[in-house]
């Protein structure tokens, strides 16, 4: 079984993927890390050099063409579910969990903004407005997940 963790940046997808994979004794795949390794540059650098459209295409291709083990937990990028047919593909090829948080909770967790291309240079007030807007846009995609869980203080046992 493949488990796909989706949600806004900062909600804990990578951390929970590692914890869940450890608990299930299976592989963990962080799609952003796969992209960084394949491209030899950070997501921020790829974004800056090629733009968001090129990144979203690369991200979708990586999602659909990665050689997944039979059982694994996959941490996705925050925007991945919102482009192409990525959400439909994940639902058809595994179990999907939306790690949901409120905008203030997300802002409190998004400290290193310079590493995140969409957040560079934002103060807390700008970030809160941005997160509220993006969550409103992305909600229709995120809520297509098979399970929606409150990710604030989420214990990995709850995901099991």
Taking the domains of the chain in order of start, what are their residue ranges?
A: 2-155
The DSSP bridge pattern shows strands 2-6 and 95-100 to be: parallel
Residue 98 pLDDT greater than 80, yes or no: yes
Residue 111 pLDDT greater than 90, yes or no: no
Answer yes or no: pTM beyond 0.85: yes
CATH of the domain spanning 2-155: 3.40.50.300
The residues pairing with 12 across neighbouring beta strands, listed in sequence order, are none
**pLDDT given for residue 140 in this prediction:** 97
- Output the average pLDDT for the chain: 95
Average pLDDT over residues 11-38: 97
Average pLDDT over residues 68-87: 97
In the DSSP assignment, the letter for residue 155 is -
Residue 80 pLDDT greater than 90, yes or no: yes
Confidence of residue 135 (pLDDT cuts 50, 70, 90): very high
**CA–CA separation, 97 vs 130, rounded Å?**
23
Token look-up 């790690």 returns: 99
**CA–CA separation, 58 vs 65, rounded Å?**
10
From start to end of 35-159, where are the E strands?
A: 72-75, 95-100, 147-150
């Amino acid at each position: 079984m493949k488990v796909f963790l989706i949600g806004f940046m900062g909600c804990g997808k990578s951390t929970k993927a590692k914890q869940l994979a450890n608990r299930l004794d299976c592989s963990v795949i962080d799609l952003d890390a796969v992209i960084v390794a394949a491209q030899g540059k950070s997501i921020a650098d790829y974004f800056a050099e090629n733009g968001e459209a090129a990144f979203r295409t690369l991200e979708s291709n990586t999602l659909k063409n990665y050689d997944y083990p039979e059982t694994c937990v996959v941490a996705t990028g925050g925007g991945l579910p919102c482009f192409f047919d990525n959400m439909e593909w994940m639902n058809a090829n595994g179990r999907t969990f939306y790690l949901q948080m409120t905008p203030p909770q997300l802002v409190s967790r998004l400290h290193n903004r310079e590493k995140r291309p969409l957040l560079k240079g934002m103060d807390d007030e700008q970030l809160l407005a941005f997160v509220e807007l993006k969550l409103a846009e992305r909600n229709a995609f995120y809520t297509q997940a098979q399970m929606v869980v409150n990710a604030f203080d989420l214990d990995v046992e709850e995901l099991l």
